[in-house]
Amino acid sequence: MRKYLIIVGMMLMSAVTAFAEEGDKWAGINLNGGFRSGYTNFGLGGKFQYEIKPSLRLEGAANYFFKRKGTSMWDVNVNIQYLIPLGDRANVYPIIGPTLMTYKGDASIIDITDYTTKFGFNGGAGIEYILNDHLKVNADVKYQYIKNVDRPVISIGAAYML
């Protein structure tokens, strides 16, 4: 467990280090759905986004997936997103970055027989629409590559510029 706490700490420190420069900062929430054969769960999450450059963004996010069939999960992600404009108010972006997931409960429900904390990677894409100078909405689809727990996660959310 100690090594996973160290990994999370390193992920968060790398995100905070990048925030030392000036750039737009956004804080927001997500509604999430995680899908796996025979097991689907939904959750809530929070995110913090920092635009390193006008087209490059770093995002730190934490999500909690509600208990279903006796099993709950949470994950922490640090993703890099490259913004591709679609007009003045919309962007699409690829998503890539590390993830750390922990589950609690009956692991046999999701076909897992080993430890409860796993490290992996995210890959996917998203789209966002900027409603005004301080508010935007988004939708993401990413695949979490985690040994024995691979699954797609779909998110919809909103963020406010700080």
Segment 84-97, tens digit of pLDDT: 999 999 999 999 99
Which carries the bigger pLDDT value, residue 162 or residue 37? 162
Distance CA(26)–CA(118), nearest Å, equals: 28
The pLDDT > 90 percentage for the chain reads: 60
Confidence class for position 10, pLDDT limits 50, 70, 90: low
Mean pLDDT is lowest, of 14-18, 81-85, 121-125, 145-149, for: 14-18
Indicate whether 71 pLDDT > 50.
yes
What are the boundaries of each domain within the chain?
A: 2-161
Cα angle value 64/5/59 (rounded, 5°): 55
pLDDT at 18: 46
Nearest CA-CA partner of 100 in 124, 120, 71: 120
pLDDT at 55: 92
**Amino acid present at 18:** A
User: In which residue are the tokens 């007009």 written?
Assistant: 87
CATH number of 2-161: 2.40.160.20
Instruction: Indicate the pairing of strand 71-82 with strand 90-105.
Output: antiparallel
Distance CA(78)–CA(32), nearest Å, equals: 16
Distance CA(30)–CA(57), nearest Å, equals: 17
Distance CA(21)–CA(44), nearest Å, equals: 29
Segment 36-61, tens digit of pLDDT: 877 788 999 999 999 999 899 999 99
Given a contact cutoff of 8 angstroms between Cβ atoms, the answer to whether 92 and 126 are in contact is yes
Nearest CA-CA partner of 146 in 108, 120, 115: 120
State pTM to two decimals.
Answer: 0.81
Given a contact cutoff of 8 angstroms between Cβ atoms, the answer to whether 26 and 136 are in contact is yes
Nearest CA-CA partner of 12 in 59, 71, 69, 82: 59
Segment 106-124, tens digit of pLDDT: 666 666 655 578 899 999 9
